[in-house]
Each structure stands twice: as structure tokens, then as C-alpha cells.
Amino acid sequence: MTKTRAILRAIFGIHHAPEPASRRHAASRSVMMRVTLDAQHVTPLRRALTRDCAGQPWTIRIATLPHTERVQLSLYLPKDAVNGAIQQVTKIAPAAQFGHLFEIPDTPTDGWRDLLRATSWAHAASVLRPAKTTARAGEDDGIDTLDHLLSADNVLLDADIADRDALFAQLGAFCESRYGVPAGQVIDGLNTREALGSTGLGQGVAVPHSQIAGLFSAVVLYVRPRVPLDFDAPDAKPVSDVIALLVPEGANTMHLNLLADVAQRFCNQHFRERLHACGSASEVCRLFANAAEASGPPSAIPHATSRGDASGAQLRA
């Protein structure tokens, strides 16, 4: 780890050349890419990117992976620099693993920031989580995933909802009747989170979420409004897909894992298209259960190939 720390100190001392005024208006930090590689490759990669992205805004963030000599990088790059960055990674670190790829809206809401950060912390949590040496027979380690928590009863298609307030009211009433949690408590939790910034992600997707006192297990609901809702999304598009996440108070790791799961699925255009084609609650659940086949290649960067999962940052949940 001494070598890793030395490399990280060198990286954190990085400074970028002043950005030409002619480029400042471009707001080019539009793609986030995660890469896991050996720590020794970080410095040459940083030098290559400094050269290739000269005059363009970009950022590199680093997280160590415990008990290894590998690190995970979060690269925020101009979209037109992504292919070159992938080539540099492949050349410098052939054993590198590419993880999540996201196209970030020009004005991302806090909902987007939650997801970008959650994918990082969820992986760190899984690395640090001790092995289950006393697991009961038949116990499923993947219980904190959307496909395990989403049931047909929690899928509401063609819901007659006028606006965001009506959506939260319906979610509250549903949770009260099915889970015994007061509707007002659910509504207040969702509104409190929404007051920090819209959970509309863009591309017609919203992920309202909250930690709820008195809730004993996580609740996932998928709602498809009959008429798309205004959600103050960063791209101003109305929301046609709502994935609501409610977790017990203090269940931070579960909360992060579920947000990461949302990011991985809903940032993929092919998955969203398949979801819109589902005509029944059971079809929706089957799609979530078979997400690997449903997702296809990452939609944000068509030429990049995801070869694994990597993840490192902070969630305001």
C-alpha cells in the first residue's frame, strides 16, 4: 500500500492548464467513466490524459481498493475524448477493467449526483462487507437488488397521476395499506429529499427515494404514469418511468446499493426501451430479473465495451 499512497499523493497534486475562453462555454465534462487498474499504471495514464485533453476540462478521482494494489478511477471527460481515453487505458494497462459509463446531463440534478456517487460507494461497501460465514441455507446474498425487491404487486402501470404531489400521495397511500407505514411519513420523507434537488434524472426517468423510520424492509415500486409527469428534470423532459426506493432509517449501505442498481439499469437506453414495451406487471418483473440480457451495450458511449464492474465518492441520500 506504500506504493499506492505515493502514487495517490502525486495524482492529487495534479493541476490543469488554464482552459481557453473559447472552450469554457462548451461544458464538456459530459461523460463519467470508471476504470479499475493496477496502481502503478495511474501516473502514466494521468500524464497521457493531461497531454490528450490539453485545453479541455477533465477530472480524475481515485479510490483505493482495500487489501489490493489496484485502484478505481472515476474519469470525468469531454465526450469526444472518451474513445481516446479508452485507447490509452488499453495501451497502458491491458488488464484494466471498465465499469460504469454515464453520459451526464449539462445541468445534472442532485438525483444524478446521487447515482454517480452511489455506484462508487456501493462497490466500496461490498468490498468492505465481511464474508457471511454463518449464512443460513438458502439465504440470498443479492437480496438488496431491484429484481429481488420488486414484485408484481409493486408495479403500477398506466397510473392516473396528475403531478409529483399526486405521485407521492399515491406512494404514501400504497405503503400505508401494504406495509403499515403512515402515508404522511412516506410523503414527508420523499418531499424532504426532493427539497434538496430534483430526483428526476433526465431521459424520462425519476428515482424518488428516502429512508423511512418504522420501515422494516426495503420497498421498491415501479410506476408508469398514464401521462408523463413534470419532475424538474435536467433535460426538461417529463417523466414516464418512476422507480421509487424506500429503505429503513439508517440502512445506508442498502440505500446506496439500490441507487447503484437503478443507475446501472436505467442509464441504458436499451433497457428503458424494453421496459416501455412491457404490457403487464409480470413482464416488468421478468425484465428486471433478466436485466443482463435486457440491457445490451451502454447507450451513452456506443463504442466502449464494459468488461467488468468497478467503483470510489459520497451520497446525499
- Whether 61 and 184 map to the same domain: the answer is no
Are the CB atoms for 99 and 65 separated by under 8 Å?
no
Domain count, the chain: 2
Count of residues making up the chain = 317
Q: Residue 118 — pLDDT band, cuts 50, 70, 90?
A: low
Higher-confidence residue of 83 and 218: namely 218
Q: Rounded to two decimals, what is the model's pTM?
A: 0.60
Higher-confidence residue of 132 and 170: namely 170
- Whether 50 and 151 map to the same domain: the answer is no
> Helix or strand or coil: residue 102?
strand
Residue 148 has pLDDT above 50, yes or no: yes
Give CA torsion, residues 6, 11, 12, 16, to 10 deg.
160
- Which residues participate in catalysis according to the annotation? 209
> What is the maximum alpha-carbon separation in the chain?
62
Name the grid cell of 118. Answer: 452511489
Q: Parallel, antiparallel, or unpaired: how do β-strands 31-38 and 97-103 relate?
A: antiparallel
Higher-confidence residue of 36 and 14: namely 36
CATH of the domain at 205: 3.40.930.10
Name the grid cell of 287. Answer: 425484465
- Whether 86 and 191 map to the same domain: the answer is no
Q: Residue 209 — pLDDT band, cuts 50, 70, 90?
A: very high
Q: Find the domain containing 88 and state its range.
A: 2-95
- Whether 147 and 287 map to the same domain: the answer is yes
CA distances to 150, 270, 305, 315 from 103, rounded to whole Å, are: 26, 15, 15, 19
Residue 221 phi/psi, 5-degree rounding, is: -130, 140
CATH of the domain at 47: 3.30.70.120
Least confident range of 121-135, 147-161, 210-224: 121-135
- Whether 50 and 158 map to the same domain: the answer is no
- Whether 157 and 39 map to the same domain: the answer is no
